[in-house]
């Protein structure tokens, strides 16, 4: 299968399986989305969706959040893991949003990535899912599948993002990154497929017999 045929097949199959792509993290505003994405680091979306409503009931905007102690935030978000770092980041970014942005989440990568606890991936999710800006956030699922599908050399998450942006149309990025995540969770799992069992892997590489070892 030629590379263009691979890309078309992947797009068609994912659109067939996931015609709609609901945002996995529950939120009511862009500040809640930002905090939820921050909480999702090394934590499942399911767990975040259990914990974040408890936090947002106490404070769902930076004006209220900056008044809450880091200790109280930590007590709530502890089940999400990395509690000390995340509670400190949530507290500090809330203060910055109030002081510098009048409580509004900035609509650009540069300002988002300056916020405590916000890296490129988190900023990409907020820009994509919060503002509808074309972005391609790469998580572990996407990084793994891109390697199994022969779309990247897998040297780094940064390289995977660059490679995917080159081969897929820009207008598809926001939906596609969610479709790949959903597919990675349901079909091309870390240990369940190994690049040889799911429909996309078998269709792209029908003669492949050895498991694909994912690069970090």
CB atoms under 10 Å from CB of 202, counted, come to 14
Marked catalytic residue, from 139, 165, 175, 215: 139
Q: What is the mean pLDDT of residues 181-192?
A: 95
The answer to whether residue 75 is domain-embedded is: yes
Are 55 and 101 found together in one domain?
Answer: yes
Q: What is the pLDDT of residue 214?
A: 85
- Domain span holding position 80: 30-130
Q: What is the pLDDT of residue 2?
A: 84
Q: What is the pLDDT of residue 74?
A: 98
Would you say residue 126 has pLDDT above 90?
yes
The answer to whether residue 4 is domain-embedded is: no
What's the burial of 113, exposed, middle or buried (CB within 10 Å: 0-12/13-18/19+)? middle
Closest CA relative to residue 65, chosen from 24, 112, 105: 105
* CA pair distance 189, 182, nearest whole angstrom: 10
Are 38 and 123 found together in one domain?
Answer: yes
Would you say residue 65 has pLDDT above 80?
yes
Marked catalytic residue, from 6, 45, 86, 121: 121
More confident residue, 55 or 215: 55
Are 62 and 118 found together in one domain?
Answer: yes
Q: What is the pLDDT of residue 177?
A: 97
Q: What is the mean pLDDT of residues 162-178?
A: 97
- For the chain, the domain total comes to 2
Would you say residue 130 has pLDDT above 80?
yes
Closest CA relative to residue 166, chosen from 1, 2, 4: 4
Residue 155: band (very low, low, confident or very high) from pLDDT cuts 50, 70, 90: confident
For residue 180 the two structure tokens come to 């790949």
The answer to whether residue 8 is domain-embedded is: no
For residue 136 the two structure tokens come to 């391609």
Out of 74, 95, 130, a domain closes at: 130
Q: What is the mean pLDDT of residues 65-82?
A: 98
Are 181 and 113 found together in one domain?
Answer: no
The answer to whether residue 91 is domain-embedded is: yes
Q: What is the pLDDT of residue 1?
A: 80
* Contact criterion met (CB below 8 Å) for 179 and 17: yes
The answer to whether residue 81 is domain-embedded is: yes
What's the burial of 139, exposed, middle or buried (CB within 10 Å: 0-12/13-18/19+)? middle
The predicted model scores a pTM of 0.94
Percent above pLDDT 70 for the chain? 100
Would you say residue 49 has pLDDT above 80?
yes
Q: Mean pLDDT over all residues of the chain? A: 96
* CA pair distance 116, 36, nearest whole angstrom: 14
Q: What is the pLDDT of residue 11?
A: 98
| Three-point CA angle 4, 8, 14, nearest 5° | 145
CB atoms under 10 Å from CB of 102, counted, come to 9
Percent above pLDDT 90 for the chain? 94
Q: What is the mean pLDDT of residues 24-43?
A: 97
Q: What is the pLDDT of residue 203?
A: 97
Show Cβ contacts of residue 135 under 8 Å, excluding neighbours closer than 6 positions: 124, 125, 127, 128, 173, 174, 177
Name the H helices within 78-197.
Answer: 83-101, 109-114, 120-125, 140-148, 157-167, 173-186
Phi/psi of residue 59, nearest 5 degrees:
-160, 120
Instruction: Please confirm, yes or no, whether 121 is among the known catalytic residues.
Output: yes
Q: What is the mean pLDDT of residues 164-193?
A: 96
Q: What is the pLDDT of residue 175?
A: 98
Q: What is the pLDDT of residue 101?
A: 98
Q: How many CA atoms lie within 13 A of 121 on its CB side?
A: 20
Are 125 and 196 found together in one domain?
Answer: no
């Amino acid at each position: 299968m030629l590379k263009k045929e691979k890309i078309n097949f992947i797009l068609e199959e994912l659109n067939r399986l996931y015609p709609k792509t609901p945002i996995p993290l529950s939120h009511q505003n862009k500040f809640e989305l930002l905090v939820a994405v921050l909480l999702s680091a090394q934590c499942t979306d399911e767990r975040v969706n259990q914990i974040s409503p408890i936090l947002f009931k106490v404070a769902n905007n930076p004006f209220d959040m900056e008044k809450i102690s880091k200790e109280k935030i930590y007590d709530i978000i502890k089940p999400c893991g990395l509690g000390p770092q995340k509670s400190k980041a949530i507290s500090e970014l809330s203060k910055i949003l109030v002081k510098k942005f009048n409580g509004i989440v900035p609509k650009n990568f540069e300002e988002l990535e300056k916020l405590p606890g916000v890296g490129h991936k988190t900023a990409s999710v907020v820009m994509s899912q919060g503002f509808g800006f074309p972005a391609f956030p790469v998580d572990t699922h996407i990084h793994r599948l891109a390697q199994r599908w022969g779309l990247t050399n897998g040297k780094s998450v940064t390289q995977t993002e660059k490679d995917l942006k080159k081969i897929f149309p820009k207008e598809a990025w926001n939906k596609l990154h969610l479709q790949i995540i959903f597919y990675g969770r349901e079909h091309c799992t870390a240990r369940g497929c190994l690049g040889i069992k799911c429909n996309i892997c078998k269709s792209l590489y029908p003669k492949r017999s050895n498991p694909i070892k994912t690069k970090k």
